[in-house]
Chains A and B, each alone.
Chain A
Amino acid sequence: MIRLGAEPSKMREIELDDVFISRLQLLIIMSKAYLSGYPLGRHRIKSILENANHVKLEAVGLEEDLEWFKKDMAFNDTLGFDSAFYQRVKLLSVMAEAIAKGYDLENHKKEALEKNLNALCESITFNKQVSDMQFLKVA
């Protein structure tokens, strides 16, 4: 039996913050795959739209929590990101939606997307490369 995931001593339930970070990582991979020219398909488009929507809604909620945190120091912001981070997340979700809807991004927008992806990857220390996932080359 193949075993993947958390080490035995670190096993625990999946929390909302875990899902947010995982969905953000997925959105980063989806966007990097687009920039690398990997093909889309009907189900990939559906998946990108759904994921972008989830991430955008969650980022709005977390940013509001952050504003609350600034006013009330007793509130505990579990993720600990700043407002700029959530702005970048929302920007990524909008750009991913545009990709899924078939809008052709001009070069300067692709550069902006790449810059945004790099900043987000640095914030969440995520360095997965789409070249590691050859199956994404097949539609």
Chain B
Amino acid sequence: MKIAVIDADPIVRDFVVGTLMYSVNRDVLPFENGLDAWMHFEDDGVPDIIVADVNLEDITGTELLDKVKGLKRDTVVIFYSDLLEKEAMVKEAGADAFLAKPFGVTELFSLVQQFVVDGR
């Protein structure tokens, strides 16, 4: 089980990485931008779960979603944002889940339960 988190904000990114790492007791890959993450995925394979801020500076959330699903269709892609219009956008694009900011440990644990334990 490989999980990656992409967010330019280190405070939120480190919190999400730490919570997921504790939950699944596996390493979680942190990336601060979408292109670095994408280059890593091309070289080392696409993770099973990607959790990303929609507002990536170098690639839009929907572009990343298209690229990822094009390479590995069953990868679970979860986006988060504080903007309602972004929620509609990623829903339309086919994201598996959306986390509305602000979120905390309860929501991240729910994601682990649904996508890691239950495998939905």
- Residue numbers of A with Cβ under 8 A of B are 1-8, 11-16, 18-19, 21-23, 25-26, 29-30, 41-44, 46-48, 50-51, 54, 128, 133-136, 138-139
Contact = CB atoms under 8 A, between A and B. Distances in A.
Contacts of A15: 102
Dominant secondary structure of chain A at its interface with chain B = helix
B109 to A, nearest CB: 6
Contact of B18 (A16, A51, A139): A51
Interface residues of B, number: 42
Dominant secondary structure of chain B at its interface with chain A = helix
B104 A41 contact: no
B102 A12 contact: yes
Nearest to A135: B117
Interface of B: 11-12, 14-15, 18-19, 21-27, 80-84, 87, 90-91, 95-107, 109-114, 116-117
Given A43-B22, A44-B25, A5 B105 contact: no
B102 A43 contact: no
